[in-house]
Amino acid sequence: MCDGVHRQTAPCLIRFPMKIQILSESFRAHIFFCKLFFVMAQTILIIFLSVLFVSVVSLVGIMFLLLHDRALKKVLLYFVSFSTGALLGSVFLHFLPEIAEHAPHFPDAMFIVLLGILGSFVIEKFIHWRHCHDLDCTANIHPAGMLVLVGDAAHNILDGILIATSYLVSIPLGISTTIAVLFHEIPQEIGDFVVLLHSGFSKGRALFFNFLSALTALVGAVIVLLLSTHVENIEQVLLPLAAGNFLYIAGVDLIPELHKENHPRKAFIQLLSMVAGIALMYVLAMGDVH
């Protein structure tokens, strides 16, 4: 009788540990996906906060212009110098090492960097994506201020793409990109604000439309996030394009601005500011050693 009972209960005793194992594996999978969702949600939140931070700080610079025109004019060129160093530091200390580590074929990635440079040239040449980094921007003003806003909006969308792409690779890379974009955006947004004033906008209207234009960076971030859910390893294409864009801005757009300053003391301060931008990117890179 005992043997009969044993034969009936034995299969249940065997199946019971198996059920526990299945439940345990299911629980571990649930925990894994919860952690993955939390990390993704955290990254998305950081992306949007970074983009908003860049937009708001740029407008703070404009408001400072309204109060302290002379003081801002003195420091604006040094912002451009720091931005140049930060952009170059981002490319050579962050972007290219990441590309070299993760790109399946490095020469192809470098070709995409070249495409990023050419693409930036096309945008600036044919779509009137203009940059202005000083307060004397009246020489080549287009009579339609809205055209300036359209070009600025396109540029801000690209900034959002750059920031979001970098954060998808790593948080430290995203931080370095945000800093580089920020110090480039401050003088550019101030310059565009001056252009709008000379195009006939009132100060309040120019500030309002400039803020709306700055918010289009969120569109760029959303584009990258949507692409990342449908295109596998999209950052392997976007990151080299971003590197090419940064190289173009630093080499074609900013450095020629710096060469306009001929005073030895100011030129030396420019150099120190550029070195400071590179040094900041170096410090951030040391914190991102794999």
Listed residue (261, 218, 272, 240) closest to 48, CA to CA: 218
Q: How many CB atoms lie within 10 A of CB 202?
A: 10
Q: Convert the pLDDT of each residue in 168-181 to its tens digit.
A: 888 888 998 899 88
Residue 239 confidence (pLDDT): 87
Extract the residue ranges of the chain whose pLDDT is less than 70: 1-39, 61, 64-73, 127-148, 191, 195, 198-199, 287-290
Q: Where are the domains of the chain?
A: 54-286
Q: Compute the distance between CA of residue 139 and CA of residue 141 in angstroms, rounded to an integer.
A: 6
Q: Compute the distance between CA of residue 182 and CA of residue 247 in angstroms, rounded to an integer.
A: 16
The token duo for 135 is 């307060």
Element of type H or E holding 112: helix 106-126
Residue 140 confidence (pLDDT): 47
Residue 141 confidence (pLDDT): 42
- Per DSSP, 225 falls in state H
Q: Compute the distance between CA of residue 136 and CA of residue 134 in angstroms, rounded to an integer.
A: 6
Listed residue (130, 138, 121) closest to 251, CA to CA: 121
Q: Convert the pLDDT of each residue in 132-150 to its tens digit.
A: 555 555 444 444 466 667 7
| Entry pTM | 0.68
Residue 82 confidence (pLDDT): 87
Q: Compute the distance between CA of residue 96 and CA of residue 119 in angstroms, rounded to an integer.
A: 18
Residue 73 confidence (pLDDT): 66
Which residues make Cβ contacts (< 8 Å) with residue 265, sequence separation at least 6? none
